[in-house]
Structure 1
Amino acid sequence: MRRVALPFLTLSDDSVVLSDWTIGEPGEPRFPLGEILEDWDYEKDLEVGVDITIDLDQAALDLALDATSLKLAAVLVVGTGAGSLPRVTHNACIKILDRDETSVRLETALAGHTLSSQLYLEVRILLDGPTASGNQLSPRFKGAKLWHTDLRVLIEDSGGSRFPIELTSFTDSFQGMPEQNAPWYVQWDPSNFHADFGGNVRLYVNADIEEIAQRFVDGDRLLLQAIVADVMTQMITTALDQENEDDFLVSFEEGSIGQQTRIWIETAFSGQNRQSISVLRRSYPGRFHASILAAAELGDEE
């Protein structure tokens, strides 16, 4: 038999008052949160919050429940990732609203390296109790969603697959390590192609090599092309080494390392399948690397 989901009463907008969203770095003053979060990078952790107030008498009328025993749960849901639906969401904060506590603040800390492309914030009001009173249309189950609102915020102006670049002294950061004398170093986890590209790929440029540092600061296009090609090569070769690479990159979400790698493969080796690219890599490594280097060429500035 098919089970039919019956309707139940929910909260009207007259029952809920939401303050303006605020955001800021830990320990710093908060400021109003708009639709675009500017002047931010992945090094910065953030704290976000909103105040919520319930008119419990109006809520009781809306739900046909007793105001003296009515308990609601206010939940802050946080998500991130490109596209219309966030790839990663979690319940960041839960507070109980009842006769003794009709106003609460929902807030949470956001680790900068976990964010990508956009920030999704949602407030949900759920039934916490009672579950055995009211009329036939009153909500009956703990956790029933009674009200919600959401906010989507573009970060770095929807920065796509950009990633953090840091000019740093390798003598200080990588003392005694093999990368100490390298002109640059790309840090990423080859075992996690599902990770957000922007939050999990980091490039360090060696400030101890004065010529490299100056060319980087000046935006030297050949240097940047070589750096981007190195990132591309690392990810493409790792993907090609996967046993089931034919299906390996198909299902990765927008904004992930896997999706960006697939785009790079299609750009550098247009119209070629895995087998032909692998043959090129084994038999003609010079052409393989030159194809990637050519695909890394930066377009002319407008």
Structure 2
Amino acid sequence: MGASGLRVSRLGLGTLSWGRGTDGDEAAAQLSAFVDAGGTLVDTSPAYGDGVAQRILAELLDDVVPRDQLVVSGSSGIDTSKVGAGRVDCSRAGLLTQLDRTLRELGTDHLDLWQVATWDPRTPVDEVAAALEFAVTSGRARYVGVRGYLGWQLATAAAVATRHAPLVATQVEYSLLARGVEEELIPAALHHGVGVFAAVPLAGGVLTGKYRDGIPADSRGADDVHTEEVRSYLTEPAARVVEAVATAADGLGTSPLAVALAWVRDRPAVASTVVGARDLAQLTGVLVAEELELPAAIAAALDDVSA
């Protein structure tokens, strides 16, 4: 993970859909399959499903998979019980209160990785750094990082982070259809030794090719919660990228999902790709796809068409 000693699996299991489209039994099956395939990184947050995802994970730790086999990544800073500007609170009090609540709920004494959920313009960056240091020195977190920061925000935070709690991770949306982070965020991460978690690596499923002929009734695009997110990718330039991914997949005898996932997984600074799945069948496809090693010539062609 960046310049740190933290080690994570190249594929991370996201829990955003747990408690919404994925119930507890299905989540248990996913977690078991993920760990059996060698996965370690599990990403959660009190903001996922208004806390439901975190509560489901709490029921699975040790009962389904031993806690010490996982690298549990969580975050603080967004309170979904509040509305408006009050939802974001990355003050020392706000961050640590939510962290302690997360630890109690998960039934664990620490998070392997604790991340600040978003940039908070109302909280001094030094105060955030102090909260991260306290979490590490008090044993509540092994490593710390941030989520959704812009390049200058990451550089600012990394520069003031203390030697006891350096930033080791940043989690951002990154895919063949979302490459804006390459302009400033990725260079900042490389310069400061911060590893990148690539979130939404399949662009809401668009890069799998499932939307090439419309929006399937059982897809995320037809779901009121995700329809806006998915439709934002359904543009003419995006369609050209999706066709290129499909062509590459045909030539390699694999799936578009595998090609899109391998491309982002192998980008500079990326330590892991965080993928969520609605059910075990979807996750199985992702686990199989992760084994693909993308030829350099195809990766370069995809670079060109998606630039």
Q: Report the TM-score when normalising by structure 1.
A: 0.23
Between 1 and 2, higher relative CO (CA 8 Å, sep ≥ 6) is seen in 2
Greater fraction helix: 2
Answer with 1 or 2: which has the greater Rg.
1
